[in-house]
Structure 1
Amino acid sequence: MPLSISGRPASPTATGLALVAVLCLGGCGEQRATDSTAGAPAGTSRSAPSGASGASPYVEPGAGDGAPHYNENNGYRRPGDMSPASATDAAREADRIRPVLKRLWERKKWDPATVRAALLPLGYEEERTGSNGKPHGGTLTVRAMNSRFTDGREVTPEGALVGLSVHDDACVTAFVQKSNYEVTTNGPYPETGCFEPPSGH
C-alpha cells in the first residue's frame, strides 16, 4: 500500500488524486493530435483545408516575390528564348567581344565612344534608328550606363553598355566600368531589345 508523506498508509482517494496529478503533469508540453491530424504518422501533418488561412490563392506558380500578377507585370524583364543555333552564334560573338573589353578595362578606358571605336573594327555596324525611333540597320549599340538615383539626385555612372543583335532571337549584352566588365548572351527583351530594362516599369 502506498505511504503518505507522514509515513502512514495513504487513503485510496489520495492515491487516486496523486495518480491523476502525475498523468496530467506528464502530458504537459506535449502536442496532442487533433481530429485533422489523427492517424497521421509522427512528424507528418495533413494539408490544411482549402478555406484555411495560409498561402494566397492568387499567387502564380514561379512568381518571384509571390505577388499576384507577378509574371504578367514582369514579363517585360524576361529575355526571349534563343534557338540552339542562335545561342551558338551568340556565344561565338561574345568570345570575340570579351578580350576587347578586357583590354579596355585594364587600360581604364570605358567611356562609350572609346568602347564603340574598339568594337567596330570587329566588323560590326553601328545600329541606326529611323525618324520613328525603330531600328534602321546595324547590329551594335554602345551607350552610357543606366542612370540611378543616389543621394536624392540622378547619377549616370562611368562606363558603357554594349548590345549586339546577333539574330532576331539572340544578343550579346556586355558592360565595362571601373569595377569590372562582363559579357553575356541572351534573347532579346520584349521592349528594350538586347538591353535588360531598368526595374520599375
Structure 2
Amino acid sequence: MSTSLLARPAASLALAAALVASLAACGDVRAPDARAGAASTGSTPSGAPSSSAPGASPYVEPGAGDGAPHYNENNAFRREGDMTPAHAKDAQREADRLRPVLQRLWERRKWDPGTVRTALLRLGYEEERVTKDGKRVGGTLTVTGMSQRWKDDGYVTPEGARVALRVHDDACVSGFVQKSNFEVRAHGPYLETGCFEPPYGH
C-alpha cells in the first residue's frame, strides 16, 4: 500500500474538521480588534481620548470660557466685582431710574453725550470728579462717547453715549444709548475700569 493512499483519509479528516469548525463559528459575535478601533476612532485602547482630541489640554482651568490656559487669569480685568445684597438692591433701584430716561432719549434719537449728560443730571446726580492720578473726589455720574471699534481698515467711534453711575464702592450702574439700541444694568465694579465695562482686546 502506498503512503499516498494512507495520507488521503488523514487529509480528508483534517479538511472535514476545519469545515465543521468554520460552520460552528458562523453567527458568533467577535470583539473588534482594539488596535483597529483605536486607529479608526482616534481613542486609545483603554477608551481614553487621544492627546490630539480637542480640549484635551491638561492646562485647562475649571470654568475657563474658551478652554485656553490661564483664561481666568488673563480675563480677571473683565470680571465684575461682588456686591453686597443691600448694595445690589440700591444699584438695581438706580438702574430702574436711568432706564426710562435712556429709553426716551433713544426714541427721540438723541444720543450724543451732552444731551444724555444733561438729562441724567436732572435726576439729581452729580458728575464724578477724579484727580490726575485717578483718585475720586466727588460725584457719581460719568457720561462719555462710545468706545472706538475697529471697522474695515481703521478705528471708528460710533454715535452714542456711555453712562456709568457709582452707587457704592462695590455697586455700579452702567449703560449706553446709540442708534441701534440702549441698555442699562446693575453690576459690581471692574478691576481696572470701575463702572465702565472694559473693552475687548486688552
TM-score for both structures, normalised by structure 1: 0.79
Give the direction of change, closer, same or farther, for the CA distance of 1:109–1:68 in structure 2 (3 Å limit): same
Other structure's SS at 1:100 match: helix
Matched, 1:171 2:172: yes
Matched, 1:125 2:145: no
Distance 2:98 2:108 in 1: 16
Query: How far 1:132 sits from its partner (Å)?
Result: 2.2
**In structure 1, what is the equivalent of residue 139 of structure 2?**
138
Report matched runs for 1:1-201 at 5 Å: 12-13=16-17, 15-16=19-20, 18-19=22-23, 22=26, 27=30, 31=32, 48=48, 53=51, 55-201=56-202
Distance 1:102 1:46 in 2: 59
Distance 1:46 1:111 in 2: 63
Give the direction of change, closer, same or farther, for the CA distance of 1:124–1:62 in structure 2 (3 Å limit): same
Distance 2:33 2:24 in 1: 18
| Counterpart residue type for residue 197 of structure 1 | P
Query: How far 1:18 sits from its partner (Å)?
Result: 4.1
Distance 1:62 1:86 in 2: 27
Other structure's SS at 1:92 match: helix
User: CA offsets, 1:16-74, max 9 Å, x none?
Assistant: 364277357x64xx64679xxxxxxxxxx97749xx63622211110111111111110
**In structure 2, what is the equivalent of residue 41 of structure 1?**
none
Q: Greater share of helix residues, 1 or 2?
A: 2
Distance 1:99 1:128 in 2: 25
Distance 2:178 2:122 in 1: 21
Distance 1:76 1:137 in 2: 24
Q: Percent identity?
A: 65
| Counterpart residue type for residue 106 of structure 2 | W
Other structure's SS at 2:103 match: helix
Matched residue count: 176
Query: How far 1:193 sits from its partner (Å)?
Result: 0.2
Query: How far 1:13 sits from its partner (Å)?
Result: 4.2
Query: How far 1:200 sits from its partner (Å)?
Result: 1.4
The unaligned stretches of length 5 or more in structure 2 are: 1-14, 36-44
Q: Aligned-pair RMSD on alpha carbons?
A: 2.5
Give the direction of change, closer, same or farther, for the CA distance of 1:47–1:124 in structure 2 (3 Å limit): farther
